[in-house]
Structure 1
Amino acid sequence: MAQSRQYLPLPDAPFNGEIGQTYKDSTPGNFEMKSPPDGAPNVVLIMLDDVGFGQTSLFGGPAHTPALEKLADTGVRYNRFHTTALCSPTRA
C-alpha cells in the first residue's frame, strides 16, 4: 500500500475575509474543514512539564489518570523512550 508523504499539521488556508475598523465592519472568511485521508492513523501527543511517565496511574504511579488509562487500553503504549533533562521544549 503506497502512502503519500505529507507533513502535518496541514497548512492553513489564506484568510479570505476582511478586517475592518470594528467587528461590524469586518466579514469572516470562508473556511473549509480539512479531513485526513482514509486510513490515516490517529496520533495523540501529550506533553507534560516536570512529570515522569511513572507518576501516572497508567504506569503504576500515584496520580489518578482514568482518561489516559482508557486511551491506552484501546491504543498503543510507548513505555520505552528517552527524554532529555531539559524542560525548555514545554516552555517554548
Structure 2
Amino acid sequence: MSEKESPYQLFTREILSMWTSQDVSYIKVEELSNIDGTTFYELIPDSELLDGGGHDTLYPIDSEDVDDMLLPNKKIKFVVHSVYLEEDE
C-alpha cells in the first residue's frame, strides 16, 4: 500500500481501560466514512457538544453500548484518532 499511515486505530479494551483510568465520562460517536460497505465511526472521549447533525451520539463510558463497540463486526468499525490516545502526564 502506498497510502500514508492512518492516524486512526481500532477501538480496543486497552483504550477503554486507559480512558477509564483518565476519568473519561462520555464517549462521542461520530460517523467518519463509509469504505467498501464498512462504516467507520470515530470515538471522541469527553466530547460533550453535539454538532446537531443527527449522526453523532454520546454514551456513558461504562454503558453496555460502549462494550458492544469492542465486538468484531465486518460492517462497522469504531476507531480512535491518535490525538486521543496520549497518556496524561
TM class by shorter chain equals: under 0.3
User: Considering only CA atoms, is the larger Rg found in Structure 1 or Structure 2?
Assistant: 1
Q: Which has the higher strand share?
A: 2
Q: TM-score, normalised by structure 1?
A: 0.23
Flag the structure with more relative contact order, 1 or 2, with Cα contacts below 8 A and sequence separation at least 6. 2
